[in-house]
């Protein structure tokens, strides 16, 4: 197989972890006889510094011309003073919108080898945690108009619009049910239908789509209750589908309870454009350039790319197994370090994974 990948290293630890992920798929290419050609483009703070904007037109063109996009992280204190439209984060939101990446898949998995890092009591996680958050990514209050800050009656008011069109809800619900079919066949849809009109529509449309997926169990839950249930009894969840804002919050919560944020990958998918793959941790500017970052989330994001963008199942399995063996062999970066384990840096961890592919 011959595929083109557009790399967007971005800011902070982005470039270091991307480097390990790229070397990982080079190892996959050698072992399985594929060719992955990578091209690098600017996004976020790096793009602001070089080009004055967080998402230059040539970056967008490079992404559109590729088969998949791989992103490190964006943002950092250096650009915190900029207004919302010019910040590094605007690059990320822009690319989601421009590539129509309406679905964000964020698996929250407790790796058995890292059970000790889990933030919840052992009796609560019992057999382990394996939740897939399916977050709508191009709608809701993130993009709704009107929005802004203006003066009314002599004082400033800030406002955003939470809006969903029926087709936006329909397509994310369909993807959630399809995802559940490959797992434990349960979807929990989270909304605030007790307060918000937009959530009433969300609930109605999700229920309509469910008619085509009768083999999958559907439940509805208010988002605040879901936030509580995620720490009280997370094992009840299989696929959790929700809108952009609730998904932003609930996916961070689902990820952090596993205790290994530095381990978790994500995929953003659209109907036709190339998918975008990225670790869910941020740019971690405090440890950037120190060979301390955990590259495993980026490496596992590569494996999601192999599986979801290219359909390369056994290659993806090989990467995931290599990561598991590294953990079994006792290697840890600082973020997941425990007593009696072997502390390694970013590049060593990458090398250890490659040796096991
Ligand atoms: C995420 C992040 C982004 C979001 C930020 C960086 C714009 O928090 O991917 O979850 O809010 O979507
Ligand atoms: Mg977030």
224 CB neighbour count, 10 Å cutoff: 13
Radius of gyration of the chain (CA): 20
Q: Residue 332: its pLDDT value, please?
A: 96
The residue that leads in pLDDT, 128 or 89, is: 89
Cα-flanking dihedrals φ and ψ of residue 46, to 5°?
-60, -40
List residues bridging with 101 in a β-sheet: none
274 CB neighbour count, 10 Å cutoff: 23
> Residue 334: helix, strand or coil by DSSP?
helix
Task: Report yes or no: 138 and 96 within 8 Å, Cβ to Cβ.
Answer: yes
Average pLDDT, the chain: 96
Cβ–ligand 1 contact at 93 (below 6 Å): yes
| Residue 247 confidence (pLDDT) above 80 | yes
Dihedral sign for Cα atoms in the order 66, 72, 78, 81: positive
| Residue 318 confidence (pLDDT) above 80 | yes
The secondary structure of 180-225 as a DSSP string is: HHTTTSEEEEEE-TTT-HHHHHHHHHHHHHHTT-TTSEEEEEEHHH
Band of residue 303 on the pLDDT scale cut at 50, 70, 90:
very high
Catalytic residue selected from 26, 67, 130, 252: 252
Q: Is residue 186 flagged as an active site residue?
A: no
Percent of the chain predicted with pLDDT > 90: 93
Q: Residue 345: its pLDDT value, please?
A: 98
| Residue 183 confidence (pLDDT) above 90 | yes
Helix ranges, the chain (H) = 14-32, 44-51, 57-64, 88-98, 122-125, 166-181, 197-210, 223-232, 244-257, 296-308, 313-328, 346-355
Q: Residue 117: its pLDDT value, please?
A: 84
Band of residue 75 on the pLDDT scale cut at 50, 70, 90:
very high
| Residue 273 confidence (pLDDT) above 90 | no
Task: Report yes or no: 185 and 217 within 8 Å, Cβ to Cβ.
Answer: yes
Percent of the chain predicted with pLDDT > 70: 100
| Residue 127 confidence (pLDDT) above 90 | no
Cβ–ligand 1 contact at 46 (below 6 Å): no
Q: Residue 81: its pLDDT value, please?
A: 94
| Residue 272 confidence (pLDDT) above 90 | no
| Residue 131 confidence (pLDDT) above 90 | yes
| Residue 324 confidence (pLDDT) above 90 | yes
Closest C-alpha to ligand 1, atom 12: 248
Task: Give the whole-angstrom CA distance, residue 37 versus residue 34.
Answer: 10
> Residue 239: helix, strand or coil by DSSP?
strand
Q: Residue 271: its pLDDT value, please?
A: 86
Q: Residue 115: its pLDDT value, please?
A: 87
Q: Is residue 252 flagged as an active site residue?
A: yes
**Among all chains, which residue has been given the structure tokens 């809800």?**
169
The residues, ordered by sequence, that sit 6+ positions from 245 with a Cβ below 8 Å of its Cβ are 140, 141, 142, 162
Task: Give the whole-angstrom CA distance, residue 307 versus residue 302.
Answer: 9
Catalytic residue selected from 49, 197, 224, 329: 224
**What is the Å distance from ligand 1's center to 325 Cα?**
31
Task: Report yes or no: 36 and 69 within 8 Å, Cβ to Cβ.
Answer: no
| Residue 103 confidence (pLDDT) above 80 | yes
Task: Report yes or no: 357 and 20 within 8 Å, Cβ to Cβ.
Answer: no
Band of residue 89 on the pLDDT scale cut at 50, 70, 90:
very high
Q: Supply the pTM of this predicted model.
A: 0.93
Pick the ligand that lies closest to the CA of residue 12: 1
Please report, in angstroms and rounded to a whole number, the separation of the first and last CA atoms in the chain: 18
List pLDDT tens digits, range 184-216.
999 999 999 999 999 999 999 999 999 999 999
Q: Residue 261: its pLDDT value, please?
A: 86
Cβ–ligand 1 contact at 254 (below 6 Å): no
Band of residue 135 on the pLDDT scale cut at 50, 70, 90:
very high
**What is the Å distance from ligand 2's center to 128 Cα?**
23
Task: Give the whole-angstrom CA distance, residue 20 versus residue 336.
Answer: 18
> Residue 333: helix, strand or coil by DSSP?
coil
Q: Residue 73: its pLDDT value, please?
A: 97
Q: How much of the chain is in helix, strand and coil states, percent to nearest 5?
A: 45, 20, 30
Closest C-alpha to ligand 1, atom 4: 248
List residues bridging with 218 in a β-sheet: 187
């Amino acid at each position: 197989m011959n595929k083109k990948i557009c790399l967007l290293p971005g800011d902070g630890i982005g470039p270091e972890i991307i480097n390990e992920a790229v070397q990982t798929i080079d190892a996959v290419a050698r072992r399985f006889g594929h060719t992955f050609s990578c091209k690098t483009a600017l996004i976020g703070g790096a793009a602001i510094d070089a080009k004055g904007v967080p998402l230059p037109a040539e970056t967008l063109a490079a992404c559109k011309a590729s088969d998949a996009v791989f992103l490190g992280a964006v943002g950092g204190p250096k650009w915190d003073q900029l207004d919302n439209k010019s910040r590094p984060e605007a690059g990320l939101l822009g690319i989601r919108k421009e590539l129509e990446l309406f679905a964000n898949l964020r698996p929250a998995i407790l790796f058995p080898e890292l059970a000790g890092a889990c933030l919840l009591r052992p009796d609560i996680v019992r057999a382990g945690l394996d939740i897939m958050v399916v977050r709508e990514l191009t709608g809701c209050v993130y993009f709704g108009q009107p929005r802004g800050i203006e003066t009314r009656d002599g004082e400033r008011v800030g406002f955003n619009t939470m809006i969903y069109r029926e087709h936006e809800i329909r397509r994310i619900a369909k993807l959630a049910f399809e995802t559940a079919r490959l797992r434990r066949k349960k979807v929990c849809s989270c909304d605030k239908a007790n307060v918000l009109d937009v959530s009433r529509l969300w609930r109605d449309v999700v229920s309509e789509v469910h008619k085509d997926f009768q083999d999958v169990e559907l439940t509805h839950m208010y988002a605040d209750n879901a936030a509580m249930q995620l720490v009280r009894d997370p094992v009840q969840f299989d696929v959790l589908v929700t809108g952009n804002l609730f998904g932003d919050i609930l996916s961070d919560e689902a990820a952090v309870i596993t205790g290994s944020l530095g381990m978790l990958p994500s995929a953003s998918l659209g109907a036709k454009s190339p998918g975008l793959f990225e670790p869910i941790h941020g740019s971690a500017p405090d440890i950037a350039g120190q060979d301390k970052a955990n590259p495993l989330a980026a490496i596992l994001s590569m494996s999601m790319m192999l599986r979801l963008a290219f359909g390369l199942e056994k290659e993806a399995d090989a990467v995931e197994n290599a990561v598991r063996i590294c953990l079994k062999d006792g290697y840890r970066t600082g973020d997941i370090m425990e007593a009696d384990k072997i502390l390694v840096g970013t590049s060593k961890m990458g090398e250890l994974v490659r040796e096991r592919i």
